[in-house]
Structures are given as C-alpha cells and as structure tokens.
Structure 1
Amino acid sequence: MPGQELFQPNPPADPSQLPDDLLKYSVQLQTKGYLPADELKSLQMFRRAADYIAAAMIFLNNNVLLENKITHDDIKPRLLGHWGTCPGLSMVYAHVNRLIKKTGMEALYVVGPGHGAPAILSCLWLEDSMSVFMPEFTRDRAGLTKLISLFSAPGGFPSHINAATPGAIHEGGELGYALSVSFGAIMDNPDLVVACIVGDGEAETGPTAAAWHAYKYIDPAESGAVLPIVHVNGFKISERTIYGTMDNKEITALFTGYGYQVRIVEDLENIDDDLAVSMDWALGEIRKIQKAARSGKPIVKPRWPVLILRTPKGWSGPKSFHGELIEGSFHSHQVPLPGAKSSAEELTALQNWLGSYRPEELFTKDGVPVPEVLSVVPDSTELRLGQKKESYKAFTPLQTPDWQPLCAERGSQESCMKAVGRFLKEVVAANPKTFRIFSPDELVSNKLDAVLDDSGRNFQWDIASRGKGGRVIEILSEHTCQGMLQGYTLTGRTGLFPSYEAFLGIVHTMMVQYSKFTKMAFETTWRQDVGSLNYIETSTWARQEHNGFSHQNPSFIGAVLNLKPAFARVYLPPDANCFLSTVSHCLRAKNYVNLMVGSKQPTPVWLSPEEADKHCIAGASVWKFASTDEGVNPDVVLVGIGVEVTFEVIAAAALLRKLVPALRVRVVNVTDLMILAQSGSHPHSLSDEAFDALFTKDKPIHFNYHGYPLELKGLLFGRPGIDRVSIEGYREEGTTTSPFDMMLCNHTSRYDVAVAGLWGAAKSNPAVAAVAAQQAAYIQHLAQKDREYILQNGKDHDDCFDTPKFE
C-alpha cells in the first residue's frame, strides 16, 4: 500500500539507504524565477538592511552608517549578542511582511531563538514600529544611532527578545516553548496566523517534541493557524544539532509521521524565490483546511504545512578567521569577532564584514531607509508585526457568574473541586470564546468534570469529537498546557491550568520565565493588562496516599512565593465555599500568577457564603466557633493553612477543649498566604498591628501548614516576636498508606497540633502547665493507638474525618 515503506519493521541501519520515495512526501515546487524582479530586489535589500543593523548592534556604539573607517573607539566595551540565528530570522520576517502585504494576512511572529533579538529589533525599526511605542527610536539617523548603540548596553535593550520588544509574546530565553505558545495564541483567533520559528537547537527539547502534536487540538472552524518554520542552521553554541545532521529523507519521515505536509526550503542561490513560493503554498494549504471546516465539511485529519528552512549559521557574516570556519559553524553562534575592540586584524575584518552590506545603498545620508527597502513593509500599520493589537492590547475581561448560589450549606460535606467544576461550567457558558481550560488529562480525576456537561474536550484528531468546539484541552504534557496557556493569556484571553499538585513543578521554570515577561511588560508604558495565569493545584499530598510517595510534592507553592511579590498570589481556601470565592476572584484578576490549592475529596463546609466572602476578602480570620470564648484572651493560637491541615487544627481544638478545659485557644485560618509576609513586603501583607491583632502580640503561635515549613519561615521572617512561632507542614514523608497516616507521618495530625498547643499554653497558663506533661503523654498514646489500628486494619477509623463537635 502507498506509504508502507515508512513503517518497515527492520529499516536500513544506514539512514542514507532509506528509499528515495520518502521524498515524495515532501512538497516539490518550482522556485527559480518565482518572484518579479522588483519584489525580489526589495526583499533582498530589506534583508541586507536588517542584517547590517543586527550586526552593527552587536559591535558599534558610534559611526552607525559606516561613513568613516571603523576605529577601536567605535566598538562597544562589551560585545554581547548572538549573530548566528539573525540572518534567518530577518529573512523570515521579510517574507512574512511580503505575505501580509500581498494577502492582508493577520499575523504574529513568535521566535524560539530569543537570542536573535538584533534581527527582530532591526526589522521593527525598519517597519517603523519602534517609534510608535518608544518615540525616541525614530526611523532616521538619530533613532538608528540610539538603537544600535543601546543594544546590550546598560539602560538599553537586552540581548534577548523580551516584553519591551514590540510584537513579542514570547521571549525564548528557555528553549522549547515557542510552538506551544503559538498554538495558544491562535485559539479563538480565527483570522490569525502565527509564523513560529523553531530553532534546530530548540527542536531538540522535550517540550517542543510534544508541542508538534498541538495542531491536533485546533478546530480550524473557530481558531487560526500556526505556520511552523524549523530553522536548521546546523549548530548550537558549540556542537552540531540533531536536526542539522538529519538529511531530507529523515526529516520528511519525521514530520510526515507527526502528520504534517513538509516543504524543504534550501535553494541558497534562489533562497528568496524558494521561501516565497513555500510560504505562498503554506498559506494556501492553511486556507484550504480552514475553508473546508468553516463550510461545514471539515477535512478529516488535515495535514497542516511545516517548512524546514536550511541556511548556514551566521549566513552573510565572516566566512573564516585565523584558519577557522565562522559562517556555517558554531563559531558564528555569538560574537564572530570577539577581539574587535583591541585587535587591529579583527577590526579590519569587521570593517569588511559590515561594508559588505553596502549601507550607503540602503540608507540616505539622514539614516532613512531607501524606498526599495521599505517597499516590503505592509502599508497598514495595524497589520505590521510590531503593531498587532493581539500582542499588547487585546485583553477581554471575563464575565464571571455569581458564585454564591453554587455554594454548599454550612455544616455539610462538599468537594472543593466539585463545587468549582459547577462554577467553571457557568464561566464557559458566559465566555464561549475567551476562556479555556488546559489540563494534563486530569480533569475528571480532579473532580472538575461538571465543565464537560455542556462543553467537550477539543481533541480534533479524535474523529468522534472533531469540530465540537470544546473549551477543554487535555494533553499529557504539562509543558504544552503551560505554553498554550501563556499564548492564550498574552493575546488577551483567560485560561485555567488544573493539575495534580505533585506535577505542576514540571512547568516551574516556564512559569518563572512567564512572570519575568509580565514583570517587564508591566514596566513598559504601552503594554496593557493581561489576564492572570491561573493554576488550581489539587490531588494534594494529603490525599495522595493511594498513589504513594511519588505523588506527594507541594513544592510549586514555593516556586510562586519566590516570584516578584507584586505578581504572585497563593491561596489555600479551607472549604468549597471559600474556594468558589477565590476562583471567581482569580479569574477576574489581571497580571498575576495565581495559585489555588484545594482538595478534591469531600470535606466539611465551615463557612456560609457570606462568611466565606468576608474571610477571603480579609485573607485570614479568627474562627470563633472552634475557639474558646470566640477567641478572646487565648493562651495559644492554632493556625490552619490548607484544607486537610485546617481540619486537623479544628479537631485538635475540640480535643483540647475536652481534655484540658482550662486551656484557652484561638483558632485562625489563613486562606491568602501572602498576608503573612513581612509588613510592606507584599501588597497583601498585614501591617504589624493587624498581624498582632489576629495572632496576638505575645502568645505562642503554632502553624499547621500544607506546604514545606521552610516556606512559611521565609514569609514570617522579619515579623516581631517570631521566636514564639512553631511550624509543621509537609516533611517529605509518605507512602501508600491511609489519609490520616499521612497526617501522622508529617506531624500535622490533630495529635501533633494538640501537643504543640498544650506546651504553648503551658508557658502562660499555670493550670495548663500543671497537667501538660500528663496530657501530652496521653495524646501521644492516642496517636500511637491510631497508627496501630491503621497498620492492623489497612484503613483509618470510620469516624476519623467526622466534623468535630464543640459542646
């Protein structure tokens, strides 16, 4: 059958022996002479101008038009930047512009090789997008001098694409995420095409490997398209790339297997013709797929286009120096002539290199690009890549339904996630085109499945669900979920990422990179608000006793705590009603990273809707029902932070009331973790006066905390009287056991809390001190008896999690 050679059980050991027929799966097109002469000249001149500026940005602080011979004084004191990828990036930029001008295509440009900032900045300056947002970067001599001299200099542009780069929605600092971000950006943007450059170094990463499947979650009737362009220039910083060593048959086989149509762009003598015809073909294929879907006759398993662009690394730069190959090798990756500041020989080589672009043909004496260079730039400013509103001012606030009617009755038992699932179902209904859930195949397991009642999963490769426009993306790649969420959020919409607690750490560094991007975006004068990045962390260690130690890890809390305080929020709502209040708030919030931690198992509902609302607004409160005399004049303060550990605090308070009636306890619950931070260190942190009012000025405080105790110590550091605080939390102890045994293992059980409260109260209450040793021994005896029962019976006592009663 056709194509069966792709699946030989015993392929040849030498890849070069693969059958030539494999190449029939790549698209063959006539390229030479494709472009009219004037269009070809314009593209070539734009590329020369962009490459000249990019190279000059790395080296020069003066003499930017090369009107005089370059001197050592014209060279920057520190040479920073990455040249090798720049020629390819500027070439694709020029050709995307050509396509925009020719067809009116709406496009964004996402660049995986983020170190190629010189190429992107030069193109932005040429199309006059820089001056729109930063008026000092005028498209003339003064603006060009400022652009070139300030690159990688203090107070200027960094060597990376970042949020201060117009048109950017992805930095590319940590490789692997350009593709998934691009797919997130085109969801619910039916007219948008994202040209995504995937460097052949980035293509080696696991996140990119998974993201090649992301098109299988795109409904062409409702969303736009990604045009992936794999830039194969053969080298990373000091080694060959995997893709650079693959021949066309191997690459064709790989991407055909992924489900793409492959076009190899590699005719270096006619590269502009080759790339132009390839991009025209690719857009035609995209439109064909979209037209079929939007006419109600979608193509089953459509093959989207992918371009493989083969060019030499550092193309048009120095060919060689001191006997070493530079162009087409890893020596061009960063600064090809690093000694230009002090070496006369390297300075001469730089003069020859920059002069080879013939800048006098590209710019007037006033530094203005000549008309031939600019003729490739789209006439409509709104269509220029640096000025697309989707990249900086497209935010649409969510319409959130009233959460209080969905609340459970106080005193009942309810799963936080079940309640949230019902709420999210209504959020989807109210926001059919601006809200999505990105979940690593855990939505049902995490009890959020009510959202699927009216909205299915958007898995288009599954014919049974194809074209139904579901709001849920489920793929077992946390990296792909995170990347899609970032792209969706930065282009103006709002998303949610629910996950097993233990595995959110997989996207720790992605989340940090995103937070850095949004911090820089907030500091610009022109980027507008975006929705918050919202995480729900459930299936927590406290109820992962059935899956075992591998599923017990609350470390993502610490990852968020380490972010810039202005952008980090961590919430641990104690019950379903508080969680509803919290998730409603987070979905409306802007510019933050919101982490919400909760349980999927039924637990007591402690607060009414009205009480929950007030509690969440305050961030913490005294729970009078569990306290002695409503918390007045306590001997000790017991604090719960997290669903299960708060239950243990309340159970401990009930136990102490029974065993030690003289002990006066105040029970406090904290739902907004950030209130504990040292006064003034976080926007939500309590003043010292408010902290003392809540936790008393001098009484012992015992925290029973869901996360790692060290995190809480860091938050509390600097508070007056910190020596009176004791903390228990997750101790990295666990196995496949019972829920209550997990509490015992980590010293967060009611017995551990009660003993801590007993000894704390004994410091100031003589009546408690008189019985403390005896009662502490008895409580520890109870703990041991419970542990023995669990080991003998394989389960907890049946009444272990009954709601404590206060008589």
Structure 2
Amino acid sequence: MTAQTPGSLHEGGELGYTLSHATGAILDQPEQIAFAVVGDGEAETGPLMAGWHSTKFINPKNDGAVLPILDLNGFKISNPTLFARTSDEDIEKFFEGLGYSPRYIENDEIHDYMAYHELAAKVFDQAIEDIHQIQKDARENGRYQDGEVPAWPVIIARLPKGWGGPRYIDWAGPKYDGNGMPIEHSFRAHQVPMPFSSRNMATQPEFEEWMLSYKPEELFNADGTLKEELREMAPEGDMRMASNPVANGGVDGSNLKLPDWTAFANPITHENRGKLLPETNDNMDMNVLSKFFAEVAKMNPTRFRIFGPDETMSNRLWEMFKVTQRQWMQVIKTPNDEYISPEGRILDSQLSEHQAEGWLEGYTLTGRTGVFTSYESFLRVVDSMLTQHFKWIRQASAQKWRKDYPSLNVVSTSTVFQQDHNGYTHQDPGMLTHLAEKKSDFIRQYLPADANTLLAVFNRAFQDRSKINHIVASKQRVNNGLRRKKLKSLRLKALQSSIGPLLLRRAKTLISSLPQLVQNLRLRLWQPFI
C-alpha cells in the first residue's frame, strides 16, 4: 500500500499495524466499518498481537467497527506460518479468549472457486448484520456500557498462497509425486512463479495457460474495455473504493477549533521571571499544557483525542481528567480504578506504544487531530512507525489528487536531563536525531523552554498540515521565563531537520538549567552530613 494507490490509507512495507490503524480510523465515526485484512505472517508480529485487544476500546455507541479478516494463506517468504499449522479448534479458542466471534471461509476442494464465492458472501453478510445489531443494541438499548464487551466478528479465511496461479514447477528442477515442486499453496508462490521474460520464452505455454485461466473473454470486450454488464455493477461516486473520502484526508479534515492559548499562559513578570511560581502545578509545563488541551477537547468533542501507553497521568496532563475520562469497555472496579469510562477522549489504558501511535495514525489520516505522549526513551519503540508515516505524507504531497492531513503530534516527556529518579534505563533522546535525518518539509521539532513556549508551540502545531510535530517537553518543575507578549512578538521557529541548531538549543537548555543543577548538587553533597 502506498500513497500513490487510490483508496489506500497508510504506508505499507513494515508489518504489524493493520488493526491499530483500522481502529484509529473508525473512532468517532459511527457509520464506518473498516475491513482489516491481516496476513498470517503479519499476525505473528508483536504490534499485531497487541492490536487484537483494540476491541476493548471501541464503543459501539459512538465509534464505527473493525472487521478483521485473517488471511491464512499458509506461508511467509520461505517459511510456513504459525496460524496456518493451527487447527480450527485451537484458533477458535484463541479468538474466543480475546472476545471475538470467529467464523470461517474454507473449503476442502480449493479449486472450487464458486463454492468459495458463495461461502464468502454468506459469511460477510452475516458479519455485517451482526455488527449492525451490536451497534443498534448500544445506540438504542444502552447495551455494552457496563463492562460487557461485544463479541465482534472476526473472519478466518483459509485461502491458499498463490491460489489460482501455476500449481507446479513442471518445466525444470526436481520432481515430487510425479510433478514438479509445488508453487500454489507453497512459500514458492511468494517469489516470481515462473522464469518468463523476453529473454526466456521457454515457459510461454505455461504462462498463457495461467493467464487464460482467468477467462478474460468473459470480462473484457475485444478492444480491452470492460463489458457493460460488469460496468453497471460497479458502485458510483464516493461508494467507489478508490474515491472513499475517509481514505483521502477524511470526510472533514479541517483544523481544530482552538481557544486563545494566551488565556492559559503563566503570568510572567520581571519580578518572577526565572523563578518558581507559588502554585506548584504551574511550574510543570505539561500540566499547564493540559489546561489548553482540556479546552480543545471541549471545543472539539468528536475530533480530538489523547493517546498514550498508560502515561497520561504520569505525564502531568491532569486537567484533561477534569473534562473527560479514559475510554475503556471492560469491567470497571471502583474505587480500584480511576478516570475510566466507556466514553472518553483519552485512550491510554493499553500499555503499548505501538497501539497508541497506530491509533493516532489512523485517527490523523482520516482527518482528525490527536496527540501521542510518551517517555522520551521509550518513544524509540515506534520510531520506525513514524518513519513510515513520514514516507506516506511525503509521497501523498506529490499526488495532486490527494488532500493534505492534520499533522501527527508526538510529545517526548521524561527527558534525559530530568531522569535522575529512574536513571540510565529511562534515558535516550535519540528520537531527536532519528527525525532530524528526515526531509525538513515534513518534520518539525520543538524544544520549548517553559510552559508558555509550549503553549505557543502547540497553538502552531495544531494548525500545521501534513507534518510530524515532535515536541520535547518537561513534566518536572522548571523555572518560567518567557512572557506572553514576548512570545507573540517572536517568530516561532521549529527545528527543520538541522543538527546544528538542534545541538545548540540542547546546549542552551542545559546551560539555562545549570543554576538548578548546581543547587541540586549542593543538596546532594550536604545531605549525608545533615
């Protein structure tokens, strides 16, 4: 899948994110059903295994649905797949244990194609009916709002790899049971199935037999145009897969409604500049930012979400919890749990960076806006995902028919210079250099010095388009320095993939914190003698 392909939604290549992206795409879009085809090779990846848990966060009252189709073709590049060698009975136990309702598409005679078509139509029709019933129960009868998670359908399709292609290598090589080595229903179908080219025409008869097996005369006229009776069957307008607006920037891809960020800024004066403010929470940049986020959430009740791997509270976005909850569909145990509800603008209750970033990508690529906050060190878990998103927005920008997208917003907290309590295990600022290597047209990196600068940064980030905004922000107590008027008069600049300014800004940040570091050092030196 690439941005050049009409109807596609996210960058292919790296595997593991189908379910996360599909879930992000249907959040807050109650009429959407995402058909998520999962290869049995992809199903072996860690992120995809985490993705099966997405159903615990989809509320059928307000969200759409994901219909996963597990394509069990049996083989990867040169190995069998784990699921393909697992019995239907054990697969059923696996998915039922995850809370799904599995149903199957398989047939003993793999070349009875019509039997597959008829069975697939029946299975898909029933799955859609079941999804609509789940949604009706939630929206009209109030079901699934008390800890009962719907048994969403999942389809397991045993469709042989290389299905319908050459069956054996009959033209060369060793024989097995009177035939050449198998291609169809074998890993060999992952490769070029036969050596046919302008320089090697020996297999032309086999190639022609293969092509003619698709019966092109039943599909096309003599001049190559599609037969009229088939053309009449095709959907029109936005119902065409290639013209689906959801897969091209979303039905409504406009920017968020934003409050005046200066209303949330700390009151910095000549007298208190460079000092800690009396209210402790005002000295924590992320908590000040959370006041802005809370108002954004109220102004955009279906187009803004916060994502993270169980770190929203730790990252000091406390004000968000005054206006919304964490979305969570399983049983809630009071008072053991806190800020958890079937409805909420925060999705952070699964400890998986892959899930959180994948949900955000799907949400962003369908025209909405979100923020993914994570500890700076562990944000590296998803650096390849950010690379793939960068590739997508870069390639999409070159397609005139592609709409632009809201920017993808990522916050690094628990920064390396403020991790004394956790130590070396939680220190790695490498996301800065990882993104700084990318093309500057699509990457913005910000290192705001204090809470007011952070507010100004996000006011810009939420209005920027088709970028990855990487913001490095402090959640610990820091001295405040810049006034609102000064910030409004400055031309706010992001680091545009330039290592020099990045290192200079890091050095300035370190220098500005030296007095506090010295004070901390004095306390540590004197503490043993007190």
**Normalising TM by the smaller chain, what interval?**
0.7 to 0.9
CA-CA distance at 1:178 after TM superposition: 1.0
Of 730, 744, 750, 2:514 maps to: 750
Structure 1 distance, partners of 2:229, 2:161, is: 27
3-state secondary structure, aligned to 1:499: strand
Residue of structure 2 equivalent to 1:402: 260
Residue of structure 2 equivalent to 1:212: 52
Structure 1 distance, partners of 2:233, 2:528, is: 73
Residue of structure 2 equivalent to 1:338: 195
Structure 1 distance, partners of 2:304, 2:72, is: 36
Structure 2 distance, partners of 1:618, 1:257, is: 51
Structure 2 distance, partners of 1:506, 1:794, is: 39
* Contact 2:28 2:303 (C-alpha < 8 Å) held by counterparts: yes
Cα RMSD for the two superposed structures: 2.6
Structure 1 distance, partners of 2:524, 2:93, is: 56
Residue of structure 1 equivalent to 2:384: 509
Is 1:579 aligned to residue 454 of structure 2?
A: yes
3-state secondary structure, aligned to 1:603: coil
Q: Structure 1 residues 705 and 589, CA, compared in 2 at 3 Å: closer, same or farther?
A: closer
* Contact 1:262 1:306 (C-alpha < 8 Å) held by counterparts: yes
Residue of structure 2 equivalent to 1:163: 3
3-state secondary structure, aligned to 2:396: helix
Residue of structure 1 equivalent to 2:234: 377
3-state secondary structure, aligned to 1:566: coil
Of 483, 496, 500, 1:674 maps to: 496
Of 102, 115, 130, 1:262 maps to: 102
Of 402, 405, 408, 1:533 maps to: 408
Is 1:420 aligned to residue 289 of structure 2?
A: yes
Residue of structure 1 equivalent to 2:217: 360
Write out per-residue CA displacement over residues 434-473 of structure 1, whole angstroms, 9 at most, x where no aligned residue. 1111111101101002111111011112346886421000
CA-CA distance at 1:374 after TM superposition: 3.6
Residue of structure 2 equivalent to 1:298: 143
3-state secondary structure, aligned to 2:327: coil
3-state secondary structure, aligned to 1:288: helix
3-state secondary structure, aligned to 1:180: helix
Structure 1 distance, partners of 2:504, 2:402, is: 41
Write out per-residue CA displacement over residues 252-283 of structure 1, whole angstroms, 9 at most, x where no aligned residue. 11111111000011024311111111111111
Structure 1 distance, partners of 2:492, 2:312, is: 30
Is 1:191 aligned to residue 31 of structure 2?
A: yes
TM-score, length-scaled by structure 2: 0.88
Structure 2 distance, partners of 1:749, 1:605, is: 11
Residue of structure 2 equivalent to 1:591: 466
Structure 1 counterpart of 2:140, which letter?
A: S
Structure 1 distance, partners of 2:16, 2:154, is: 17
Q: Structure 1 residues 252 and 181, CA, compared in 2 at 3 Å: closer, same or farther?
A: same
Structure 2 distance, partners of 1:338, 1:400, is: 59
Of 459, 463, 469, 2:343 maps to: 469
Task: Give identity over the alignment, percent.
Answer: 37
Residue of structure 1 equivalent to 2:163: 315
Structure 1 counterpart of 2:485, which letter?
A: E
Residue of structure 1 equivalent to 2:322: 453
Q: Structure 1 residues 530 and 264, CA, compared in 2 at 3 Å: closer, same or farther?
A: same
CA-CA distance at 1:338 after TM superposition: 3.3
> Which blocks of at least 5 consecutive residues in structure 1 are unaligned?
1-160, 620-671, 679-684, 686-701, 707-726, 730-742, 754-781, 798-807
* Contact 2:445 2:497 (C-alpha < 8 Å) held by counterparts: no
Structure 2 distance, partners of 1:675, 1:307, is: 44
Structure 2 counterpart of 1:275, which letter?
A: A
Q: Which structure 2 residues correspond to residues 369-768 of structure 1 after superposition, within 5 A? A: 369-374=226-231, 376-378=233-235, 380-394=236-250, 395-410=253-268, 411=272, 412-413=276-277, 414-463=283-332, 468-474=342-348, 475-615=350-490, 617-619=491-493, 672-674=494-496, 705-706=505-506, 750=514
Q: Which structure 2 residues correspond to residues 73-152 of structure 1 after superposition, within 5 A? A: none
Structure 2 counterpart of 1:473, which letter?
A: L
CA-CA distance at 1:547 after TM superposition: 1.1
Structure 2 distance, partners of 1:586, 1:728, is: 23
3-state secondary structure, aligned to 1:345: coil
> Which blocks of at least 5 consecutive residues in structure 2 are unaligned?
173-179, 278-282, 334-338
Structure 2 distance, partners of 1:514, 1:381, is: 28
CA-CA distance at 1:748 after TM superposition: 9.3
Structure 1 distance, partners of 2:162, 2:524, is: 66
* Contact 2:445 2:471 (C-alpha < 8 Å) held by counterparts: yes
3-state secondary structure, aligned to 1:673: coil
3-state secondary structure, aligned to 1:469: coil
Of 513, 524, 527, 1:790 maps to: 524
CA-CA distance at 1:677 after TM superposition: 6.5
3-state secondary structure, aligned to 2:316: coil
Q: Structure 1 residues 450 and 324, CA, compared in 2 at 3 Å: closer, same or farther?
A: same
Q: Which structure 2 residues correspond to residues 239-278 of structure 1 after superposition, within 5 A? A: 239-267=79-107, 268=110, 269=112, 270-278=115-123
CA-CA distance at 1:750 after TM superposition: 3.4
Structure 2 distance, partners of 1:467, 1:788, is: 46
Structure 2 distance, partners of 1:309, 1:177, is: 19
Higher mean C-alpha displacement, 478-487 vs 267-276:
267-276
3-state secondary structure, aligned to 1:418: helix
* Contact 1:439 1:499 (C-alpha < 8 Å) held by counterparts: yes
CA-CA distance at 1:705 after TM superposition: 4.8
* Contact 2:457 2:492 (C-alpha < 8 Å) held by counterparts: no
Residue of structure 2 equivalent to 1:176: 16
Q: Structure 1 residues 260 and 375, CA, compared in 2 at 3 Å: closer, same or farther?
A: farther
Residue of structure 1 equivalent to 2:177: none
Q: Structure 1 residues 674 and 343, CA, compared in 2 at 3 Å: closer, same or farther?
A: closer
3-state secondary structure, aligned to 2:102: strand
Number of equivalenced pairs: 494
Structure 1 distance, partners of 2:332, 2:29, is: 23
Write out per-residue CA displacement over residues 135-187 of structure 1, whole angstroms, 9 at most, x where no aligned residue. xxxxxxxxxxxxxxxxxxxxxxxxxx200111110232100011100000001
* Contact 2:326 2:341 (C-alpha < 8 Å) held by counterparts: no
* Contact 2:261 2:459 (C-alpha < 8 Å) held by counterparts: yes
Structure 1 distance, partners of 2:191, 2:431, is: 34
3-state secondary structure, aligned to 1:447: coil
Write out per-residue CA displacement over residues 332-377 of structure 1, whole angstroms, 9 at most, x where no aligned residue. 1131113444333322221111122121221001211224544542
* Contact 2:353 2:381 (C-alpha < 8 Å) held by counterparts: yes
Write out per-residue CA displacement over residues 22-56 of structure 1, whole angstroms, 9 at most, x where no aligned residue. xxxxxxxxxxxxxxxxxxxxxxxxxxxxxxxxxxx
3-state secondary structure, aligned to 2:224: coil
Structure 1 distance, partners of 2:266, 2:31, is: 43
Structure 1 distance, partners of 2:62, 2:358, is: 19
Structure 2 counterpart of 1:331, which letter?
A: R
Structure 2 counterpart of 1:441, which letter?
A: D
* Contact 1:200 1:231 (C-alpha < 8 Å) held by counterparts: yes
Structure 1 counterpart of 2:454, which letter?
A: F
CA-CA distance at 1:541 after TM superposition: 1.4
Larger radius of gyration: 1
TM-score, length-scaled by structure 1: 0.58
Structure 2 distance, partners of 1:511, 1:282, is: 33
Larger fraction in helix? 1
